[in-house]
Amino acid sequence: MAGHRAGMKAVKEVTRAADEMGIQILTLYAFSTENWKRPRDEVDYLMRLPEEFLDRELQELQDNGVQVRLLGDPSALPPHTRRAVEIAVKRTEANKGLILNFALNYGGRAEIVRAVKDIAREVREGTLSPEEIDESLFASRLQTGALPDPDLLIRTSGELRISNFLLWQIAYAELWFTDVLWPDFTKEHLYEAVRAYQSRSRRLGAVEERPSTDARSGQ
């Protein structure tokens, strides 16, 4: 429980740091569809944290122009958790600054299945033909909608797996792994991850461009 509470402090610090750095979109994996398998007491505690965090920090988020969004299925959330998130989303929806996505009761596979069902329904109703289905259309049916794909995925705690997170969207994201536990993750660690990202070549499947060589000048 103490670790989860410390993790909430990390959310605040990292959100502030991302905003100060000019990062446009920050998505935090708060609770996965698989996390319901945890002990009941732990789940109940985790479901209170979004309410507590937003109650304390919503005014600062609002003052800084942060727009809060929700990724995931809110229907299974306890009413008090869902209500807190809905209030935050509503109060910040007109803000133009950092987009802060809370992935809450979120699973990448579930998101893809929902998108497939929506597209199949449109085909059945005759409003969409199979020939119109491409990557762009499919991406538009995901919860991230018109948002760009992530550039950088940070995985903490020494884990070397994706854990069902934004499976479609991170196809070309740069991955950065650290042994630092999330409750201990600070803005300095975020800076480190961004510096590592900046040092990488983003080819996106293409051949890396190299400076042209002039044989006559030896350049």
Residue 211 reports pLDDT greater than 80? no
Cβ atoms 109, 167 nearer than 8 A: yes
Instruction: Name the residue with higher pLDDT: 153 or 216.
Output: 153
- What is the pLDDT confidence band of residue 215, given thresholds at 50, 70 and 90? very low
Q: What's the predicted TM-score (pTM) here?
A: 0.89
Structural domains of the chain, with CATH:
2-105+149-193 (3.40.1180.10)
For the chain, the farthest-separated pair of C-alpha atoms sits apart, in whole angstroms, at 74
If you average pLDDT over residues 31-58, what whole number do you get? 94
Residue 212 reports pLDDT greater than 50? no
Distance CA 66, CA 12 (A): 12
Cβ atoms 105, 77 nearer than 8 A: yes
Residue 19 reports pLDDT greater than 80? yes
Looking at every residue in the chain, the average pLDDT score rounds to 92
If you average pLDDT over residues 63-90, what whole number do you get? 96
How many C-beta neighbours within 10 Å does residue 89 have?
Answer: 16
Distance CA 203, CA 210 (A): 12
Residue 214 reports pLDDT greater than 50? no
Cβ atoms 10, 185 nearer than 8 A: yes
How many C-beta neighbours within 10 Å does residue 134 have?
Answer: 8
If you average pLDDT over residues 114-139, what whole number do you get? 97
pLDDT above 70 coverage of the chain, percent: 93
